Structure 1
Amino acid sequence: MSTSSDLPNKPKLALFDLDHTLLPLDSDHGWGEFSIAIGWCDREAFGRQNDAFFADYQAGQLNVPDYVRFATAAVVERGQQASDAAHQRFMDEVIRPAMQPAAMQLVQQHLDAGDTVVITSATNEFVTRPIAQAFGVQHLLATELVRDASGWFTGEIEGIPNMREGKVQRMQQWLADRDLTWDGVETTFYSDSWNDVPLLERVNHPVATNPDERLRALAQERGWRIVDLFSKAP
């Protein structure tokens, strides 16, 4: 792993996981709960399955295509106009009140320093794009969705899910699209999750941020920086 002094005058990239890193909640799970609250999904059936998928994610064994079909079913059915309106309510009622000053300030510090800031999230693009914009971040790598002839989502995943090793692959492609390489940039990555160890190991400066127990232990073992922006929601 390189140090800052080894990387003179290289473009700096600040990469952020989203859920439980910049937000003290899981936006994907939260969108599911919000869908129940507005009557789009049955509380008992959807809530039980949503919780089960969330547990699988925390355990690192989520079947991503199955989950994305499940999580986007109501959005696919309701269509773009109703879904966009519902997401605006979700932003106003759930996400913006949860955006912590410490997280917002950290992102802004990197932007003010001239770093290129990228949010890289396993959560799908429908849920995450407005959240990235709320943090003032232009670049988003999320799990992308196939669109039909009308331009609306089908519920299927487009390309590689942005999760675990997929985050490294998607970031590699992002760099290549800009004629950049890992060796040509100085990278910092903030994440709370054991699922993100592959990308944390790939960057120059891994930062365990509000880390789960396993990641905190690994960070302590390897001497990675540890940052606690806020306490996690129960």
Structure 2
Amino acid sequence: MGSDAVMGRDLRRAAFFDLDRTLIRGSANYPLAVAAFRRGHVPWWDLVKDTVNAISFHRKGSTDAQSAALRERILGAVAGTPQADIVHLTDEIVPRIVRRLIPESAALLAEAKAAAMDRIVVSASPIELVGRIASALGLEGAVATRSELDDDGRYTGRLMGEFCYHHGKVIEIEKLAAERGYDLASSAAYSDSISDLPMLERVGTPVAVNPDGELRRLALARGWRVVEVGRKRH
């Protein structure tokens, strides 16, 4: 006798959305870096580097090396800092970030809601930021990078779990799927970047949103849905 999953009953589905350049224009991390600098958490030179990277990201997206470097700078910068301080920073900047929601992406969120899919933001940015963005947008959850805390609620400078980037996104959405009972074969994923190929391949319905050149070519070759949002990439 088949289980409910086999019989097709009570399956839960999710729509996993990359954040930067998929849901919002630009990067969510840069406003956080600016806010952290103003509070003395980030040195001036690191802010300059993040400004240069933000401009490059706006034009071309992020490289693996840039993402790894940003991860290490964030972990190092917040080591010893109370989590409550970072939460306060994110509360300040989230309203500005959600105003950068791309209208066409808002339509994709509405489409997923109409299909009774839980909408989950998936990002390499800190969970303290991404979780609040998801809540502000009225979404059902967030998967993001988590930093380890000590017994006093201060960051240790180490990760707790995976860096939520590339294959790390797959590991984290699989954890969430196991917790919530999502059937990934019946779920969807949305991204603009070839770096999210593992996540796109893990679900039944991959969607390329304003994709970079490599992802566009692959999506067209595989017959995936391609959605243009905002301004075209250069």
Scaled by the length of structure 2, what TM-score is found?
0.80
1:85 and 2:88 are equivalent in the alignment: yes
Alpha-carbon spacing, 1:207–1:180, altered in 2? closer, same or farther (3 Å): closer
- Equivalents in 2 of 1:163, 1:156: separation in Å? 16
CA-based RMSD of the aligned residues comes to 2.9
Q: Is the 8 A contact 1:68 1:155 kept in 2?
A: no
SS of alignment partner, residue 207 of structure 1: strand
Q: Name the CA shift for 1:163/1:41 in 2 (closer, same or farther; >3 Å).
A: closer
How far is 1:100 from its partner? Answer: 2.9
Does the C-alpha gap of structure 1 residues 8 and 166 become closer, same or farther in structure 2, counting only changes over 3 Å?
A: same
Q: Secondary structure at the residue paired with 2:221? A: helix
**Structure 1 residue runs without a partner (length 5+):** 1-6
1:180-217 residue CA offsets vs partner (Å, 9 max, x unmatched): 554xx511110011110011112111110121121112
Deviation string 1:55-112 (CA, Å, 9 cap, x unpaired) is 7982223564x533412555455534443333222123x3133123332232133223
List aligned pairs for 1:1-234, cutoff 5 A. 10-36=11-37, 40-43=41-44, 45-50=45-50, 58-62=62-66, 64=68, 67-76=70-79, 79-92=82-95, 94-182=96-184, 185-231=185-231
Partner deviation per Cα, 1:8-66 (whole Å, 9 max, x = no partner): 664332111111100111111332134345665343x11344357777982223564x5
**Cα pair 1:189 1:206 within 8 Å, conserved:** yes
Which stretch shows the higher mean deviation, 100-109 or 218-227? 100-109
Q: TM (normalized to structure 1)?
A: 0.80
Distance 1:82 1:138 in 2: 25
Distance in 1 between the 2:112 and 2:181 partners? 22
Segments of 4+ moved more than 6 angstroms: 52-57
Match of 2:137, as an amino acid?
Answer: F
Residue pair 1:17, 1:121 contacting (<8 A) in 2 also: yes
Work out the percentage of aligned pairs sharing the same amino acid: 26
Residues 105 and 75 of structure 1: CA distance in aligned 2, closer, same or farther (over 3 Å) = farther
* C-alpha distance in structure 2 between counterparts of 1:201 and 1:76, whole Å: 35
**Partners in 1 of 2:211 and 2:152 — Cα distance?**
41
In structure 1, how many angstroms separate the alpha carbons of the residues matched to 2:213 and 2:112? Answer: 27
Aligned residue for 2:153, secondary structure, equals coil
* SS, match of residue 19 in structure 1: coil
Q: Which has the higher contact order (CA 8 A, sep 6+)?
A: 1
Distance 1:40 1:160, change over 3 A: closer
Unaligned residue ranges in structure 2 (runs of 5+): 1-6
Counterpart Cα distance in 2 of 1:225 and 1:181: 20
Equivalenced residue count is 223
Are 2:187 and 2:204, in contact at CA under 8 Å, matched by a contact in 1?
yes
Which deviates further from its counterpart, 9-18 or 219-228?
9-18
* Contact 2:24–2:98, Cα closer than 8 Å, also in 1: no
